[in-house]
A = this chain, B = another copy of it.
Amino acid sequence: MAQLQLREAIRAAMVEEMERDESIFLMGEEVAEYNGAYKVSEGMRDRFGDRRVIDTPISENGFAGLGLGASMSGLRPIIEFMTWNFAFVAMDQIVNNAAKIRYMSGGQFSFPIVFRGPNGAAGQLAATHNTSVESLYSCFPGLKVISISNPDDAKGLLKSAIRDNDPVVFLESEYMYGMRGEVSDDADYTIPIGKARIGREGDRVTIVGHNKSYWRAMEAAEMLAADGIEAEVVDPRTIRPFDWETVIRSVKKTNRCVVVDESNPFASVASEVAFQLQSRAFDWLDAPVARITAKDTPAPYAKNLMAYYLPSAEEVYRACRDVLYLT
């Protein structure tokens, strides 16, 4: 085990896999000479050279599609978006080509590709630079969607994503790149795609949260513990396919659920969790599934507004007390 920053864990996953398999390359804006806008790919160009670590012009649609064409041909590209906000110009490539060509070709062409980069809020950057995209991609069959909350998961899941033969949308976070944690250094350490992780056990209420929201969930659980209430925190880690089994099992124990999701609320991952729980655990729910999301507005610039915009641990805590009818 090593103590790594999240960015280092991501890098380690890429480096190890690239050492293992020559068909993997990394491409994106500023990934090579500049060593990555967020230094995720630091040193990788020196290590692998210009052939395998490749800078691009600001042409997301072009290089996302280039990656897809290369993966159709059997290479295994890792395409970095500087952030997922900039992938809207490449959305067509991802939701039409990545998600659907395998199907339309009767299975002849596969897309072993990973699209990765930071997702969601990243501070006072205003509306176009703070979008959470998980629900947008998760509704497309053909894609897999992973969103990570800590260095170890980042490494294990990214290695799985790179080895996977289907296109994976891999969601990171600028805020968390500097977060440190223990990371396995087993070169074959992979975490299965589609398996949730229980971050904390409890029996009174289930809190579901991924990426940064997981940490809001954990903080709220601490606050609840101070009230003598043990919350169970589930990090789904994979959004598509979603590990319903683990969440449902937890809710069948706690009978209550709060979902924390940094997206705007409408038709979000939180909505889907509520659908599934009321559908599959109807008789176990002692209260409606509650959700704490970003406010239903674009992200503002001003410091106070931006703080108010995002889900807070305090809001999660209160929602938990609400579903426990403790208010």
Q: List residues of A whose CB falls within 8 A of some B CB.
A: 61, 85, 88-89, 91-92, 95-96, 99-100, 103-104, 126-128, 131, 135-136, 138-142, 240, 242, 263-272, 274-275, 278-280, 282, 285, 287-291, 296-298, 300-301
**Are B89 and A103 in contact, CB atoms less than 8 angstroms apart?**
no
CB distance from A298 to the nearest CB of B (A): 4
Query: Chain B nearest CB: distance from A59 CB in Å?
Result: 13
18 sample A-B contacts, Cβ–Cβ < 8 Å, listed by A number: A91-B91, A100-B127, A100-B128, A104-B126, A104-B127, A104-B301, A138-B266, A139-B266, A240-B266, A266-B272, A267-B267, A267-B268, A271-B272, A274-B279, A275-B291, A278-B288, A279-B290, A280-B288
A272 to chain B, nearest CB (A): 5
**Across the two chains, which residue of chain B brings its CB closest to A297?**
B141
Residues of B within 8 A of A127 (CB): 96, 100, 103-104
A270–B267 alpha-carbon span in the complex (Å): 8
Nearest residue, chain B, Cβ from A86: B92
B95 engages A92 (CB within 8 Å): no
CA distance A289 to B288 in the complex (A): 13
| Set of chain B residues within 8 Å of A271, measured between Cβ atoms | 267, 271-272, 274-275
Which chain B residues lie closer than 8 Å to A290 at the CB level?
Answer: 279
Query: Do the beta carbons of A128 and B141 come within 8 Å of each other?
Result: no
Query: In the assembled complex, which residues on chain B have CB atoms less than 8 Å from the CB atom of A126?
Result: 104
The reply to whether B298 and A104 form a contact with Cβ atoms under 8 Å apart is yes
**3 pairs of A and B residues whose beta carbons are closest in the complex:** A88-B92, A100-B127, A274-B275
Instruction: Give the CA-CA distance A131 to B278 in the complex, in Å.
Output: 27
The answer on a CB contact under 8 Å between A289 and B298 is no
Distance of A172 from chain B, by nearest CB (Å) = 20
Tell whether, in the assembled complex, residue A278 and residue B269 are in contact, meaning their CB atoms are under 8 Å apart.
no
A139 touches B141 (CB 8 A): no
A141 and B103 contacting across the interface, CB-CB below 8 Å? no
**Known contacts A139-B267, A267-B135, A298-B142; is-contact A89 B88 (Cβ 8 Å):** no
Contact A139 B268 (CB under 8 A): yes
Contacts of A265 in B (CB 8 A): 139
Closest approach, in angstroms, between the C-beta of A232 and any C-beta of chain B?
20
* A298-B264 in contact (CB<8A): no
A282 and B278 CA atoms in complex are apart in Å by: 10
Q: Which residue of B lies closest to A100 (CB)?
A: B127
Residue of B91, B287, B298 touching A100 (CB-CB under 8 A): B298
CB-CB < 8 A to A301: which residues of B?
A: 104
Q: Check A298 against B141 for contact (C-beta < 8 Å).
A: yes
User: Which residues of chain B are within 8 angstroms of A91 by Cβ–Cβ distance?
Assistant: 88-89, 91-92
